[in-house]
Chains A and B, each alone.
Chain A
Amino acid sequence: MRIDRAAVQDLLAEYGALIDAAKFDEWLDLFAEECRYQILPRENFDLGLPAALVFCDSRAVLEDRIRALREANKYNIHTDRHVIGLPRIFDDPLAVEAPFAVYQTDQEGETRLFATGLYRDRLEAVGPRLKIRDKLILLDTFAVPSLLAIPL
């Protein structure tokens, strides 16, 4: 399959921008109907242990978490800024690895590095669009500052 590098990079850019703008419905639309989303602490990955901080093995769980975020959860008031690095793109099946950093800025304008790690995505073509089938977020910053509410 011919890799459309521009489409992959556009998808990554959209991914970060939609979270930062808190547009979660559009963010969910980046995922395929059958999808998985996990945030795995690096110390568990290194030890071969399965427990993740966020474990969505179906779209239903992912949607439930977004709903909980809107209806129930409380968290530190802040804005996010995703900085997603250059992706490495692999073919057959279409997979992407990209380093990321998320900065959080509070209401007083103070910014801190919240998380860094590696996205390991499996993508699939859905009609003309590229969507995320499986997203594994390897979290280097597994000593999570304060709490983790907004998707990484």
Chain B
Amino acid sequence: MITAAIWPALDYSRVPYRLYHDAEIYAREQERIFRGPVWNFLGLDAEIPNPGDFRATYVGDTPVIFNRDRSGTVNAFVNRCAHRGALVRREVCGNAEQHICIYHQWCYGLDGGLTAIPFRRGIRGKAGLAASFDMGVHGLRPLRVDQVNGALFGTLAADAEPLGDYLGAPILGQLRRLLDRPVRVLGYNRQRIRGNWKLYAENTRDNYHASLLHEFLVTFGLDRSTQVGGVTMDPRHRHNITWAEAGSDTDEFARQAYASARVRNDFLSLKEPALVTFHPERDDKLNIAITSVFPSAVFVQISNSLAVRQIRPRGVDEVEVFQTMLGYQDDTPEMTLHRLRQANLVGPAGLVSMEDGEAIEIARLQARSRPQHGYRARRCRRDLRPRLPSNRRAVTRILVVLR
């Protein structure tokens, strides 16, 4: 049984590897985090425009369906038949008037309510379910659904606080900024990484690695730790925004700063510079904004590439990063093409993201072989980036350093 005794030090300066490969901890996370009082990103309003449209998603490793009913309301429910636990809706997406489980054809409405059972009253007056059987309590387990500018969130906990309170003002600001006009889904990509889901969740908040692991960022001048940028968290330090401003450092400054790192810094140039060309789409200068929403969503702007990622745990030792690539409904054909080109930067083949797969897999191998050890976390009061203008808040956070 897992107790606090697995922590080498109770000031959180050492993190036990065991957190990343223990089945009991994983099961507790599913129960107390994902099925607990958090809001999980489900999908986008734009993915289910018409009544009857549905899409499969996950809350932790629990399969969930979200759909739009006849009145236009978005419902979400656990995709598990009340009868034998089978997957009710097997397709990933589509349009339907109801959801029927193929096993015994139990039929559920678009609100997840149980509407029909074959042979409920038996055959020719014999057998069937007891008269006291109440269909009303055997629907699919519902989630409470709310949204921010079309980003749908769901919770399985009756006592979860309102979505706006859960996210906090800085995160609400970023979501409203990214989703400030109707979106268009350009496509999906998936990366299956052999490692615990938390290794990915922490990766998106780890600013130390960005320009060192993803050397393309520096080598081709897209993003450097020498730029003006920083980290902002919500007041309760659950969620995280990593941000940077375009063109806010010089090549010379960057060369000096990176002299001690083994990162190629002669800033090669591309034959197709559009790959790293930023066309500002709003009044601020942000060209990098990575908003991690605990536990499992990441809203991403990298240059003109926009996306939302869902972290899907698949057992203790595997995670799928499910990414939805976005554009806006009012994009010109040129901007759409530009986003499709910049999609080369992200995803499992991403020029600035592919390496996360390797980094997580090499971290996971070490962790599994040394369960009794921990890695050292160092509390750091200063951001690695240059001091920000005084009207921005300084941030205190833990920088995790692998020794």
CB contact list, B106-135 vs A, under 8 A: none
| Cross-chain contact B189 with A41 (CB below 8 angstroms) | yes
A60 adjacent to chain B (CB < 8 Å): yes
B22 on interface, CB distance cutoff 8 Å: no
User: Does B268 belong to the interface (CB within 8 Å)?
Assistant: yes
Asked if B355 and A73 make an inter-chain contact with CB atoms under 8 angstroms apart, the answer reads: yes
Provide the bound-state CA to CA distance between A143 and B358, in Å: 16
Chain A residues with CB under 8 A of B187: 41, 44, 47, 49-52
Docked-complex contact A72 and B358, CB < 8 angstroms:
no
Inter-chain CB contacts under 8 Å: number: 129
In the complex, B301 has a CB within 8 A of chain A: no
Give chain A residues whose Cβ lies under 8 Å from the Cβ of B215: 71-74
Render B296-325 as a binary contact track against A, CB cut-off 8 A, 1 for contact. Answer: 000000000000000000000000100001
- A73 CB contact (under 8 Å) in B185, B340, B354: B354
Closest CB in chain A relative to B118 CB, distance in Å: 32
A113 within 8 A of B: no
Chain B residues near A76 (CB-CB < 8 A): 357-358, 361
- Residue-by-residue, is A131-144 near B (CB-CB < 8 Å gives 1, otherwise 0)? 00000000000111
Known: A43-B188, A72-B351. 11 other contacts (CB 8 A): A49-B186, A51-B186, A51-B189, A53-B189, A55-B340, A73-B216, A76-B358, A143-B190, A146-B192, A147-B348, A149-B349
Q: Is A148 an interface residue (CB 8 A)?
A: yes
Chain A 13-28 interface residues, beta-carbon cutoff 8 Å to B: none
Q: Is the CB of A68 within 8 A of B320?
A: no
Q: Given contacts A61-B341, A64-B271, is CB(A73)–CB(B351) below 8 Å?
A: yes
A128 within 8 A of B: no
Q: Which residues of B contact A34 (CB under 8 A)?
A: none
Tell whether, in the assembled complex, residue A57 and residue B270 are in contact, meaning their CB atoms are under 8 Å apart.
no
In the complex the two chains form, what is the Cα distance from A133 to B175 in whole Å?
A: 41
B347 at the interface (CB under 8 A from A): yes
Whether the pair A146, B344 counts as a contact (CB closer than 8 A) is no
Q: A53-B348, A64-B275, A142-B190 are in contact. Are A147 and B358 (CB under 8 A)?
A: yes
Tell whether A29 is near chain B: CB-to-CB under 8 Å.
no
Q: Is B270 in contact with A64, judged by CB distance below 8 angstroms? A: yes
Q: Do A41 and B340 have beta carbons less than 8 Å apart?
A: no
Q: How far is the CA of A47 from the CA of B186 in the complex (A)?
A: 10
Selected contact of B349 from candidates A44, A54, A74, CB within 8 Å: A54
Contacts of B192 in A (CB 8 A): 143-146
User: With a CB–CB cut-off of 8 A, which chain A residues contact B38?
Assistant: none
Contacting pair B186 A39 (CB below 8 A): no
- Mark A67-105 against chain B: 1 for CB-CB distance below 8 A, else 0: 110011111100000000000000000000000000000
Nearest chain B CB to A16 CB, angstrom units: 18
The answer to whether B355 touches A74 (Cβ under 8 A) is yes
A49 and B188 contact, Cβ closer than 8 Å, known pairs A71-B268, A74-B213: yes
B189 neighbours in A (Cβ, 8 Å): 41, 51, 53, 142, 144
* A65 at the binding interface (Cβ < 8 Å): yes
